[in-house]
Chain A
């Protein structure tokens, strides 16, 4: 038994240095040198150099002048009582899904409320499923083309734009499958909203 201690200890130290320090630091160096944008989180800057967000991370939208992302289940510590949490959609410092199961009453209540809100906004059934379901990370940057198209009328009205013009923008911003096969067609909400601001 004792004969194993020296190799165990030495191997642990050597591999900690190699795989725990040399490897990640070397990868950081290579990543920063060759893929600076991706390595830094695919950030989007506006003309003034201010960070608007990451093209990979969804963000909360309240204004009806913009396209809305999916509902998000993320939360943040309650400022009044740190042992509790409050809803904080698209909190990119604390990713989570709702973790509600298929027979959860809480899920049904939440979806029902969202569906009613969509009805109030004049949406027709069936409602696109991603418009009222939360994503796994709570940070999903995408919506389905159906959900984006369902929002066209509302956004066009709020901005006083022609519906056909906004619809054409959604179609232009719809990304296809990777290599035509992998993944699903989708619309990046932040990219769409930034393009929307460019429309005159």
Chain B
């Protein structure tokens, strides 16, 4: 670790903090239906959409109506994306002449983009046509992100309103989020990406004659437009197999900073918008502080572990001063690689600028653990916020148990029904991750896909199901996941992680919104102070993390000690 390394990390995180507040306040205005400076341009388009879709913008939905709208929209999105993937050979804009995507891979990919996971069992440059990338995959980069944000808004309104019955209108939230937030930001970020060197062309590839006289086919495509929403929407599905480690997707330190900023900014701003909408900006900052504490600790562990390097390779005569460089790119360096690793997994983004499979054992443990904590640091756009609210509810409940008072969060009484539903949501993660991983660890059909033996092989399995269930999408990519077993089970894990979480959370919102808002009294536990921040950090780590400790001990932790003793597999 070096001072300049920490300076780089601090600079990027500082940039996010400075921009999160103005964006959060703008988003709060958009979500509350107020006029913004973009309204004169986008207003007519917005109302045109409502008219064509038959949406009455002022007619709100109950929690059940809102959830059903999300489910129907997601089901249709799945069907259309699956159809595009299965028919891409017959569709236009396929300059490479790629075949139709096989059924199990199409199932996995459609679910993956729909649930904002963007797990990729394929390599983009050898599988997906331009039309599939643009009108199939990138569309769901926008829509799955907007759906997540809409759900977070519904949950936010449950706390902002008192004695109400409705949570908003999904179609309005979806439309306004996409038009006023995602598209304008994407345009700006895409142009900055192009300026920094990311290609944006309809050409599929060019052939170069190298200095050696050999032919090099260089794949390209409409990348910058996709890269922008992939990061802003915390989707993470790369145009290329190597994702944001590919020099076209992420050509230099500037584009790398822009990548990290755009992953973090909407999720952070949403927490600020939450505070604003529930009438306490301080509450937003308290939540963001808890998130920051865990995230920065994660960055520090990855950075330390990667610069400490791999003693097995050092013993072969390598210079240890550069740290572990296997699977890393020179232009980013260890500091910005470590920051990217922690941010992409603390969020549910899953873009990578280094190969997680080649990280040191503890450097690889951190991203896996951050995903298993429930993707709340600060999580995927929208999903991070409602996940964080679930943890906040559990925190006030535990605090309430200690002093014997009915817990309250933002003036709303938290009762048995909410706690039961919150636990139901939180338990979906260990069920899917540990359940599937346990089966895969003994199933020959699953084990043939592993690229590494020994404890690292178990880490590959654990990481895959953590990534799918957490809707992250990054991978220990040595795992050959394009087999029927992995495509199918990971697809199911993604559905469980998204909708198995969303339905109980929306039920909580439906119950909270009907409650009266109690005025704060001397006995109220303040949820915007240091004590609550500490409690929330503890609850995230203990309730979210402890259940995975035995599995992690058998994977990365034991591998760490084996590496120190020089054992290989």
Which A residues fall within an 8 A CB radius of B?
1, 4-12, 14-16, 18-21, 23-24, 27-28, 30-32, 34-35, 38-43, 50-54, 56-63, 66, 70, 90-105, 107-108, 111-112, 115, 125-130, 132-144, 146, 177-178, 181-184, 186, 190, 193-194, 197
The reply on B254 being an interface residue by CB < 8 A is yes
Residues on A with beta carbons closer than 8 Å to the beta carbon of B201: 28, 31-32, 39-41
Is the Cβ of A99 less than 8 Å from the Cβ of B355? yes
Residues on B with beta carbons closer than 8 Å to the beta carbon of A19: 138-139, 142-143, 178, 183, 229
Give the CA-CA distance A93 to B206 in the complex, in Å: 10
- Please judge, given known A-B contacts A40-B199, A94-B126, A100-B326, whether A194 and B211 are in contact too, CB under 8 Å: yes
**Given A101-B459, A133-B327, 19 extra CB contacts under 8 A:** A7-B171, A8-B69, A21-B135, A28-B225, A39-B200, A39-B201, A57-B218, A58-B247, A59-B210, A66-B212, A95-B241, A98-B355, A104-B569, A111-B313, A132-B318, A143-B330, A182-B256, A184-B330, A197-B211
* Partner among B53, B328, B360 whose Cβ is within 8 Å of the Cβ of A11: B53
Which chain B residue has the least Cβ–Cβ distance from A11?
B53
Is the Cβ of B211 less than 8 Å from the Cβ of A52? yes
* Partner among B68, B212, B451, B569 whose Cβ is within 8 Å of the Cβ of A103: B569
Residues on B with beta carbons closer than 8 Å to the beta carbon of A95: 123, 125, 240-242, 245-246
Q: For B4, B211, B476, which residue has the most chain A Cβ atoms within 10 angstroms?
A: B211
Is the Cβ of A61 less than 8 Å from the Cβ of B211? yes
- Please judge, given known A-B contacts A102-B563, A181-B7, whether A38 and B477 are in contact too, CB under 8 Å: no
Which chain A residue has the least Cβ–Cβ distance from B249?
A137
Which B residues fall within an 8 A CB radius of A?
4, 7-8, 11, 49, 52-55, 68-69, 72-73, 76-77, 80, 123, 125-126, 134-136, 138-139, 142-143, 171, 174-175, 178, 183, 186-187, 190-191, 194-203, 205-212, 214, 216-220, 222, 224-226, 229, 240-242, 245-248, 251-254, 256-257, 309-310, 312-313, 316-333, 336, 352-355, 357-361, 364, 451-456, 459, 476-478, 559, 562-563, 567-569
Write the nearest CB–CB distance from A144 to chain B, whole angstroms.
Answer: 6
Is the Cβ of B216 less than 8 Å from the Cβ of A53? yes
Is the Cβ of B226 less than 8 Å from the Cβ of A38? no
- Please judge, given known A-B contacts A21-B135, A38-B195, A92-B219, whether A102 and B324 are in contact too, CB under 8 Å: yes
Residues on A with beta carbons closer than 8 Å to the beta carbon of B321: 129
Which chain A residue has the least Cβ–Cβ distance from B567?
A103
Residues on A with beta carbons closer than 8 Å to the beta carbon of B52: 10, 14
Is the Cβ of B330 less than 8 Å from the Cβ of A12? no
Write the nearest CB–CB distance from A42 to chain B, whole angstroms.
Answer: 6
Residues on B with beta carbons closer than 8 Å to the beta carbon of A31: 190-191, 194, 200-201, 224
- Please judge, given known A-B contacts A12-B77, A16-B139, whether A136 and B126 are in contact too, CB under 8 Å: no
Give the CA-CA distance A191 to B427 in the complex, in Å: 54
Write the nearest CB–CB distance from B259 to chain A, whole angstroms.
Answer: 12
Write the nearest CB–CB distance from A176 to chain B, whole angstroms.
Answer: 10
Give the CA-CA distance A125 to B319 in the complex, in Å: 8
Give the CA-CA distance A136 to B327 in the complex, in Å: 4
Is the Cβ of B206 less than 8 Å from the Cβ of A51? yes
Q: For A125, A136, A197, which residue has the most chain B Cβ atoms within 10 angstroms?
A: A136
Which chain A residue has the least Cβ–Cβ distance from B77?
A12
Is the Cβ of A15 less than 8 Å from the Cβ of B142? yes
Sample 24 A-B pairs with CB under 8 A, ordered by A number.
Answer: A7-B69, A10-B52, A19-B138, A20-B139, A24-B134, A27-B187, A32-B200, A63-B212, A66-B211, A96-B477, A101-B459, A102-B563, A103-B452, A108-B568, A115-B317, A126-B320, A129-B319, A129-B321, A129-B322, A130-B325, A130-B330, A183-B256, A183-B331, A183-B336
Write the nearest CB–CB distance from A76 to chain B, whole angstroms.
Answer: 10
Q: For A102, A111, A132, A133, which residue has the most chain B Cβ atoms within 10 angstroms?
A: A102
Give the CA-CA distance A184 to B451 in the complex, in Å: 30
Residues on A with beta carbons closer than 8 Å to the beta carbon of B459: 101
Give the CA-CA distance A10 to B355 in the complex, in Å: 40
Which chain A residue has the least Cβ–Cβ distance from B254?
A178
Is the Cβ of A93 less than 8 Å from the Cβ of B478? no
Write the nearest CB–CB distance from A198 to chain B, whole angstroms.
Answer: 12
* Partner among B199, B248, B318, B569 whose Cβ is within 8 Å of the Cβ of A111: B318
- Please judge, given known A-B contacts A11-B73, A27-B225, whether A139 and B68 are in contact too, CB under 8 Å: no
Residues on A with beta carbons closer than 8 Å to the beta carbon of B195: 35, 38
Give the CA-CA distance A58 to B246 in the complex, in Å: 11
Residues on B with beta carbons closer than 8 Å to the beta carbon of A61: 210-212
Residues on A with beta carbons closer than 8 Å to the beta carbon of B191: 27, 30-31, 34
Give the CA-CA distance A43 to B218 in the complex, in Å: 10
Residues on B with beta carbons closer than 8 Å to the beta carbon of A134: 326-327
Per CB-CB distance, the 7 closest pairs between chain A and chain B, nearest first, are: A183-B253, A99-B478, A136-B245, A20-B135, A184-B333, A95-B242, A126-B319
- Please judge, given known A-B contacts A41-B248, A98-B327, A100-B357, whether A184 and B208 are in contact too, CB under 8 Å: no
